[in-house]
Amino acid sequence: MACYLMHVCKLLPAVDSMDMPFLDPYLDSVGAPNLRTGVNFAQAGCSITPATATSVSPFSFGLQIKQFFAFKDKVTKLLSKGDRYRQYIPQMNYFSQGLYMFDIGQNDLAGEFYSKTEDQVAASIPTILLEFESGLKKLYEQGARKFWIHNTGPLGCLPQNIALFGKDPSQLDELHCVAKHNRVAKLFNSQLHALCTKLRGKFAGASITYIDIYTIKYNLIANYSRYGFEHPTQACCGYGGQPLNYDGRVPCGQTTSLDGNLVTAKGCSDSTEHVNWDGIHYTEAANFHVTSHILTGRYSDPPFVDKMPFLLKPKF
């Protein structure tokens, strides 16, 4: 079964455990990549809503959809030329049998907090999800039938947001996360869940699985020591030391001049002790934890009855 990713996928440890190759990026297709097992259209910093001049990435959801259609059109033309390229590209029936995976929306919400109030960000959610629904409809009309959709995580627990929006302790919740970011994330997830339910009634013959990433991640941060972690909201790769080890002026791996001194954001000695990698993204150990819980089936709607047919060894 081919797999097509829109934005970031948390299931890479599962792919590794199944002894399957990682998916080649669509924009890195020069040479001889293996596109038979699927394609990754993900792009760091992208959003569901169309990109603007101030967006981190121009590759918004709509553009990723267009890239997918360009890929499908190219495959169709290559298959019509005989067997020369068949070992590198999917067969046509893969597009209807493939799994379409989405982990997107966090950047839409997080970005709006820089210029809008909590109520204004919350009011933008229906517009964001209307754009998402439009993209899913286009994929369905082109034959996609299996959709795997992650909700968004607890934005307020990212060191980046705590550093910028959590200077007033009254703005933090019991886990020292920014409360308003998490409230909006939960509102977004509630409406996304409702959209998935609605689409099951509209997309005849489709399978739409909604995954509750928020609950998995929030529980990890709340009970980090139970799972073998030592630092729930401190960046492994950053600058600034306790408590967050994050300074937006010094991104992970870079050297910057601050107050006349050169400082470098370096990785910590043991990333498995940290939930967060660089203030925004999770560490490999944390993503392995998330993946392991996804694959139990308990955090999906509809839920799986049985675990996936391979064994992961999470960090418990």
pLDDT per position as a tens digit, 200-239: 999 999 999 999 999 999 999 999 999 999 999 999 999 9
pLDDT band at residue 8 using 50, 70 and 90 as cut-offs: very low
Q: Quick check: helix, strand or coil at residue 104?
A: coil
Whether the pLDDT of residue 189 is over 60: the answer is yes
Mean pLDDT, all residues of the chain: 89
pLDDT in tens, 124-156: 999 999 999 999 999 999 999 999 999 999 999
Whether the pLDDT of residue 105 is over 80: the answer is yes
Domain assignment present for 19: yes
Domain enclosing residue 207, as ranges? 3-228+283-301
The pLDDT of residue 50 is 92
Q: Specify the number of domains making up the chain.
A: 1
Please, what's the b/e burial string for 217-232 (b: 16 or more CB within 10 A of its CB; e: otherwise)?
A: bbbbbeebeebebebb
d(CA 6, CA 148) in angstroms, rounded, equals 10
DSSP class of 266 = B
Domain assignment present for 306: no
d(CA 263, CA 255) in angstroms, rounded, equals 5
The secondary structure of 7-75 as a DSSP string is: E--S-HHHHHHTT-PPPEEGGG-SS----TTEEE---TT--SSPP-TT-S-S--HHHHHHHHHHHHHHH
Q: Is the pTM of this model over 0.95?
A: no
Distances (CA, A) of 44 to 29, 64, 110, 220, 278: 17, 12, 14, 23, 14
How many helices (H) does the chain have, and how many strands (E)?
Answer: 9, 11
d(CA 51, CA 79) in angstroms, rounded, equals 33
Domain assignment present for 235: no
